[in-house]
């Protein structure tokens, strides 16, 4: 396919994109023309096949092909209501996959919407990754502060490890840090938090922040007193999670945050290297 045609088709598809509540979509009547179909009757058959593909893939058809009636002008001032659909990017991709492969527009759309869908997936992965990173970095900061505070109160690094492990044991229903690593098959030399879901990391962070605050407010000293405070705060966090039907020790591990970072970065780089050339 010639580069000029690809550039023209790209502009056409992007010009006809709409947004509602932050969701990008195309009207089926517009897509009909963009894909080179002259008759709605023929194009509607492709839409029905695409709906079936959507259903077979386990997705709700109504979420990707919502009805959208349209009123058009007729001769002598009359009007007529015609059938239309608001198509998500995924719906457009399925329509292209079920379209006439002999049409250049179909060949283009198959690549265009596949890439656009992949980009959306990468953006969503990036957002989820950033949320985990933000939570993880906050936990690192709060644990670093806790380490400094307890050192000033006569507790060494081994004491800090014991205090943190006791907190984990409370948060994870009797499983200390080492036991949670075994349970989730986490390497010995890697931090537990690098494999936890965002909600659990956030709970650990808030418990640690509370410990830091109360350490200073109450001027707590000694490993035993600090441990009691940290256990109390982790117990409160566990209760909050329980009220929301979240059992932290039963949550499956997330992908290693370091591996996820590399994969998302590589995926973004590869995806934006001009695959439509």
Q: Is residue 116 part of a domain?
A: no
Query: Higher model confidence: residue 184 or residue 111?
Result: 184
CB 204 within 8 A of CB 139: yes
Query: Higher model confidence: residue 77 or residue 87?
Result: 87
Number of H helices, E strands in the chain: 11, 5
Task: Name the band, by pLDDT with cuts 50, 70 and 90, for residue 173.
Answer: very high
Q: Is residue 121 part of a domain?
A: no
Query: Does position 276 have pLDDT exceeding 60, yes or no?
Result: no
Tell me how many domains the chain contains: 2
Partnered with residue 73 across adjacent β-strands are 79
Beta-strand ranges (E) seen in 2-69 are: 18-20, 23-27
Task: Name the band, by pLDDT with cuts 50, 70 and 90, for residue 238.
Answer: very high
One domain for residues 132 and 217: yes
Cα-based distances in Å from 195 to 31, 126, 168, 258:
43, 16, 14, 9
One domain for residues 24 and 151: no
Which element (helix H / strand E) includes 70? strand 70-73
Domain boundary among 100, 135, 170: 100
User: What's the mean per-residue pLDDT of the chain?
Assistant: 85
One domain for residues 246 and 134: yes
Look up the domain containing 42 and give its range: 3-100
One domain for residues 132 and 169: yes
One domain for residues 90 and 133: no
Find all residues with CB under 8 Å of 125, minimum gap 6, and list them. 260, 264, 267
CB 219 within 8 A of CB 154: no
One domain for residues 256 and 158: yes
Per the document, the length of the chain is 277
One domain for residues 258 and 133: yes
| Cα of 212 vs its chain's centroid, Å | 31
Q: Is residue 275 part of a domain?
A: no
Task: Name the band, by pLDDT with cuts 50, 70 and 90, for residue 6.
Answer: low
One domain for residues 93 and 219: no
5 φ, ψ to 5°?
Answer: -65, -40
Round to the nearest angstrom and report the end-to-end CA distance of the chain: 9
Q: Is residue 115 part of a domain?
A: no
Query: Does position 82 have pLDDT exceeding 90, yes or no?
Result: no
Cα-based distances in Å from 267 to 109, 119, 122, 132, 246:
21, 9, 7, 18, 32
| pTM of the predicted model as reported, rounded to 2 decimal places | 0.56
pLDDT of residue 230: 97
Task: Name the band, by pLDDT with cuts 50, 70 and 90, for residue 184.
Answer: very high
What SS3 state is found at 87? strand
Domain boundary among 51, 84, 100: 100
Q: Is residue 135 part of a domain?
A: yes
Q: Is residue 168 part of a domain?
A: yes
Which element (helix H / strand E) includes 132? helix 104-152
Q: What is the pLDDT of residues 18-71, one digit of tens each?
A: 888 777 898 999 999 889 899 999 999 999 999 999 999 888 898 899 988 776
pLDDT of residue 274: 36
pLDDT of residue 129: 74
Which element (helix H / strand E) includes 82? strand 79-82
One domain for residues 265 and 140: yes
């Amino acid at each position: 396919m010639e580069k000029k045609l690809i550039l023209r088709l790209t502009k056409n598809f992007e010009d006809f994109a709409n947004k509602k509540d932050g969701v990008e979509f195309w009207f089926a009547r517009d897509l009909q023309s963009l894909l080179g179909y002259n008759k709605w009757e023929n194009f509607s058959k492709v839409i029905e096949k695409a709906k079936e593909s959507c259903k077979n893939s386990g997705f709700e058809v109504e979420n990707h092909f919502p009805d959208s009636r349209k009123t058009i002008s007729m001769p002598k001032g009359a009007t007529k209501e015609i059938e239309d659909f608001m198509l998500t990017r995924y719906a457009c991709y399925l329509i292209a996959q079920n379209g006439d492969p002999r049409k250049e527009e179909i060949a283009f759309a198959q690549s265009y919407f596949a890439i656009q869908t992949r980009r959306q997936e990468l953006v969503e992965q990036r957002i989820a990754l950033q949320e985990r990173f933000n939570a993880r970095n906050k936990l690192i900061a709060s644990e670093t502060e806790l380490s400094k505070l307890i050192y000033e109160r006569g507790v060494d690094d081994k004491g800090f490890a014991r205090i943190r492990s006791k907190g984990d044991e409370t948060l994870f229903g009797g499983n200390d840090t080492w036991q949670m690593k075994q349970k989730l098959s986490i390497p010995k030399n890697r931090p537990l938090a690098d494999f936890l879901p965002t909600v659990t990391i956030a709970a650990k962070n808030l418990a640690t922040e509370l410990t830091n605050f109360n350490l200073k407010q109450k001027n707590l000293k000694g490993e035993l007193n600090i441990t009691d405070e940290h256990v109390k705060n982790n117990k409160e966090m566990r209760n909050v999670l329980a009220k929301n039907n979240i059992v932290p020790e039963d949550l499956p591990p997330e992908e290693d945050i370091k591996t996820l970072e590399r994969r998302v970065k590589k995926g973004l780089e590869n995806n934006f290297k001009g695959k439509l050339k």
